[in-house]
Amino acid sequence: MDRLDEGLLAGLMARGVSRRSFLKLCVTMTGVLALPAAYAPRVAAAVAAAPRMPVIWLRGQGCGGDTEALLRGANPTTAELLLDLLSVDYHDAFMMSSGTAAVATQAEVRARYPNGYFAIVEGAIPTAEDGAFLTIGGRPFGDIVREVCAGAVGTIAVGSCAFDGGLASANGGSTGAVGVGRIVSDARLVTLPGCPVNAENLTATILHYLTFQAMPATDGRGRPLFAYGGLIHNQCGRRSHFEFGEFVQAWGDEGAQKGWCLYKMGCKGPETFANCPTVRYASGTSWPVKAGAACIGCTTPGFWDAMSPFSGRLPSPIPFAPDVSADQVGQVLVGGVGVLVAAHGTASFARSKLARIRARSSPAETARLSVAVPAGPTATEPSPAAPEAAGPVESTPTATAAERAAEPSVVPAEPSAAEPTATAVEPSVVPAEPVAATQPGEPAEAADPVPTVEPSPTVEPSPTDDRTPTDDAAVDPAADTTATDGR
């Protein structure tokens, strides 16, 4: 407990801030940092035990609105946390009357806490005429910024002017005003644009470092994602009126009194990234849109030029159709893509269907089907599979074999399809012998070879015998008698 009393919690309690208020602050900052609620105790413990962190606040070209926003922070501990407990050792707005003594104090802080203090820069940095448009103690402001930020543990650029030059650089400017990022090229730089900056975001950035010993994650322009990662349009309380097409047409009309959408009055919420709708200003009381004023996009780069006029809509993306908004263009593009996808799917289905129909009607497909489902053997289509396919008409080859046995000399060169093994056993015998040798009841003299008898040239050998009784009757009986007499 002694360690906690030595940190920020002790200082807060000494100034009348209760522990309950301190924990409420830590829970609020946890929400601002977009951290889970479970991190609230860790944030409270880290902040309570943290030592006082020195701060050097530099102020360049600007209106001073960021300092005012900090001083008017109504959160019970925001101003005290930053101005007292963090030991703001240098701020030229508070020490202006000190003159050279204030400059000496700044140098003393840098020497006492090397790489141990925060550098906060407000306002733009003039670069024209060698920085002669703003000098402090006779030195150009840009040189002082480089010197101070080089020895800081972290640099925070607050406000739109410190972000990219702001109003001083609008329409070209005359002082060569630039943002801190053009002077300080360091990964430890965090920018908090806004006109003015939200003090809650500044407090949350410092608490993030005290809790995790690192600066928060940022986007490509150095803006913390916890504060500038969401579109204002998506967080706005008037978004539902935008969806239903309920817009304010003129200031003070019925729609304005009912709190309708201010898009047609120039609201830049659809193009601006910030957490204004959720964190708000004046201790979370309100923000411009809630008060009835349109968002001017002050967190976007070069908003003085890019978002003007603030009371008018942005130029239409289609020059010849000024009434067409970017949302309508997006809807048309999405609809067109949907139609093209549907057409592509329909064409692909039709193409595949047509390919299947052509495949069925092609000769190759017909041949495949005929092989898969044979119609049976014929006299002109010999096939090795004919014996199995000829099963339904098996009676025909049986009757033919009996007749062939009774007339062995009529078909001497035709082997029987039903006995293919006889030919393989006796390959050297005359082709007429396998039929005679395998038929029972054949005369003995049929086994003698007859060298003078040749097979009829008109008879085609076939594994199957498709001859009918009519074909047998057509055989010349004289040929049989001649063969017998010759024998």
All structural domains of the chain: 2-226 (3.40.50.700), 230-318 (4.10.480.10)
Distance from C-alpha of 422 to C-alpha of 432, rounded to nearest angstrom: 11
Taking all residues of the chain, what is their mean pLDDT, rounded to a whole number?
Answer: 75
Which pLDDT value is given to residue 302? 92
What share of the chain has pLDDT > 70, as a percent? 63
Residue 187, pLDDT score: 72
CA–CA separation, 240 vs 261, rounded Å? 8
- The reported pLDDT for the residue numbered 343 is 93
Tokens 């906060």: give the residue.
120
Cβ atoms of 483 and 445 closer than 8 Å? no
Cis amide leading into 309 (omega within 30): yes
Type and span of the H or E element at 115: none
Phi/psi-derived region of residue 314, left when phi > 0, alpha when psi is between -120 and 50, beta in every other case: beta
- Residue 468: pLDDT over 60: no
For residue 392, how many other CB atoms are within 10 A of its CB? 7
pLDDT score for 29: 72
69-75 long-range contacts (CB < 8 A, ≥24 apart) are 69/196, 69/197, 69/198, 69/199, 69/281, 70/197, 70/199, 70/202, 72/199, 72/282, 73/199, 73/200, 73/203, 73/283, 74/282, 74/283, 74/285, 75/25, 75/28, 75/199, 75/200, 75/203, 75/283
pLDDT score of 323: 62
d(CA 78, CA 84): 10
Q: Amino acid identity, residue 55?
A: V
pLDDT of residue 455: 52
Angle at 199 between CA 193 and CA 200, to 5 degrees: 105
Q: Nearest-CA neighbor of 74 among 282, 280, 288, 279?
A: 282
Does the structure show a pLDDT above 60 at 397?
Answer: no
Nearest to 123 by CA among 85, 88, 80, 168: 168
How confident is residue 93, by pLDDT bands cut at 50, 70 and 90? confident
pLDDT band, very low/low/confident/very high, at 365 (cuts 50, 70, 90): low
Residue, of 220 and 38, whose pLDDT is higher: 220
Instruction: Grade residue 367 by pLDDT with cuts at 50, 70 and 90.
Output: low
pLDDT at 183: 92
Whether residue 152 contacts residue 188, with contact meaning beta carbons closer than 8 Å, is answered with: yes
Range from 337-341, 416-420, 471-475 that averages highest in pLDDT = 337-341
What average pLDDT does the segment 27-44 reach? 73
Class of residue 375 by CB neighbours under 10 A (exposed 0-12, middle 13-18, buried 19+): exposed
Q: Is 34 exposed, middle or buried (0-12, 13-18, 19+ CB in 10 A)?
A: middle
CA 291 vs CA 238, 256, 277, 281: distances in Å: 12, 11, 11, 11
User: In this structure, are residues 208 and 47 in contact, taking their beta carbons and an 8 Å threshold?
Assistant: no
Q: What percent of the chain has pLDDT over 90?
A: 35
Query: Of 275, 268, 270, 271, nearest to 216 (Cα)?
Result: 275
Give the confidence band of 353 by pLDDT, cuts at 50, 70, 90.
confident
